[in-house]
Chains A and B, each alone.
Chain A
Amino acid sequence: MMLTSEAQDAPRPALPEQAATIAMSCRVRLARNLAGERFPDWATERDRERVLNAVREALSAEAPELRVTPVAGVEEQDRDMLCESHLISKELLERAAGGGVAVAKDGSVCVMVNEEDHLRIQGFAQGLDVAGAWRRADALDTGLERHLAYAWSPRLGYLTACPSNVGTGLRAGVMLHLLGSSLLGEIEPVVRGLERMRLLVRGIGGEGSEAAGQIYQVSNMDTLGTDEAGIIRRVTRICSEVVRQEHNARVRLLQETPLVLVDCLARSLSVLQNARLLATAEALEFLSALRLGAAMGLCTRLKVSDVDALILMMQPGHLQKGLGTSLTSDERDEMRAEFLSRKVARVKLKC
């Protein structure tokens, strides 16, 4: 068959480029609380409003481009969009009074107010640039600290609502696309290995540990006892090892079981091109396969970044915002199928 020779002829992407596509994005989150204030869960509405105001003032002095919006005042579709972009959490959305959010225009930093903690300062970056994401969050934190008295103790560091975040309050997470390892049946040992190294592994969009589209978020379990730079280095190092393994898995797939790979791509593409109803989780499975194809150079007219955009745009909030209307779940599935089939209509497999 043609596949092997064609695939060998195809320019093999250098590892850094591969890394950028396997590691989709990363984020670093710092949990901070104000001294002398009840944590949001136990606070009264008035307590939370007071904290929100203090944070608003600190932000306007330190980073005026970060304007705090009360969550209650954000329209539903926009709230869904923020959630789908992983800028804010469902928990914050459910916080009626005193919950707030501030997002930088370029989306590189975001502050949640009165979520589980008074402040969740988040920095974002592409690929495996965990250090870059950390620098963003850290710089904002250092600025805010000039205006806010944080709850901190010499022994336990930053004091957080849940003891699982105490210490640095730092959680560094990397989003990894591990479909190659999954197709080879090797995802279990990878996940187990990560857990043994005390990293948290969570599927996105799936129930519990089930990862829809084989997209996993890997983050540090411990926040106490290692300094920030050490945590960042560790997460980066281990995740780059996972990236290397996934890269190897993809190479082996192509060499050893090309039919399995091509079959997966072909089925996914034809469903996306022809289905009339597609639920979000289902669509994510097929887009994930297409993303793998694009990353391996097996699809024409399709870049990995195109697929990433589709993954975001087909989510309920983005979909409705794009259409400028509010839809029922069934209507959404129909519009999603229609939208995706249009977007991938001209895509072909090279094999």
Chain B
Amino acid sequence: MKCELCHKADAETAIRREVGGELQELYVCQGCARQEAAAAAPPDVDAEQPVAGGMGTVPLMGMILDAAFEIVGRAMNRAEPACPACGILRHEYRKQSRLGCPACYEAFARELDAAIFDLHRARQHVGKVPQRAQALCQRRQLEARLAQAVKEQRYEEAIALRDELLRLPEPDAAKGGPA
């Protein structure tokens, strides 16, 4: 994956920094890691990261941080976003650029959507719809129209829409994570 700061070089190391009071983990190139370290000099070393404290040489710091993540792992990163379906953490999927399960797309939507736009220059699928999902799409559309009709107090139309919804076959689980 690319460096999350300059978006040019390949990301080689993980750094942490505080953004608006929230601790963020970023994957960056060596150059950006060095700059970040210079900016965040010893005085405000992250209290949660004693291993990194006072380390002058940045590549080493990166390695140690990475190692710390591996060892301390989930216990220390309770605040780190995880996919509720498969349980993988943000930094885990980002290391490999591979997601854990289909539900990860929802769990990490905020950052994934930007990455997906970068990759494809698009945000919306166009094209094939699986047979099973066609019913689901139809249901979603009817539900939206029903809500709108109720909101606008068009009750006759709402009743017709509700009946139409009731006639649809039972929805098939077309997406989601592991049970």
Contacts and interface: CB of A to CB of B under 8 A. Distances in A.
Contacts of B179: 36
A149 B131 CA distance: 10
B128 A33 contact: no
A152 B176 CA distance: 9
A35 interface: yes
- Most central of A145, A154, A163, A166 by chain B CB within 10 Å: A163
User: Chain B's interface: helix, strand, loop or mixed, by majority?
Assistant: loop
Interface string B34-65: 00000000000000000000000000000000
Contacts of A152: 129-130, 133, 174-175
Contacts of B86: 38, 42
Interface in B106-130: 112, 115-116, 119-130
A267 interface: no
B23 interface: no
A228 interface: yes
User: Chain A's interface: helix, strand, loop or mixed, by majority?
Assistant: loop
Contacts of B125: 153-158, 166-168, 224-225
A41 interface: yes
Nearest to A153: B175
Nearest to A168: B127
A246 interface: no
Interface residues on B, range: 35 or more
A150 B98 contact: no
Interface in A89-103: none
A338 B9 CA distance: 46
A141 B128 CA distance: 11
A227 B98 contact: no
Contacts of B175: 35, 151-153, 159
B121 A116 contact: no
Interface of B: 86, 88, 96-102, 105, 112, 115-116, 119-133, 136-137, 140, 172-179
Interface of A: 33, 35-39, 41-42, 47, 116, 138, 141, 145-146, 149-159, 161-164, 166-168, 170, 198, 222-228, 230
Nearest 6 CB-CB pairings of A with B: A225-B122, A157-B125, A151-B102, A227-B127, A224-B120, A159-B102
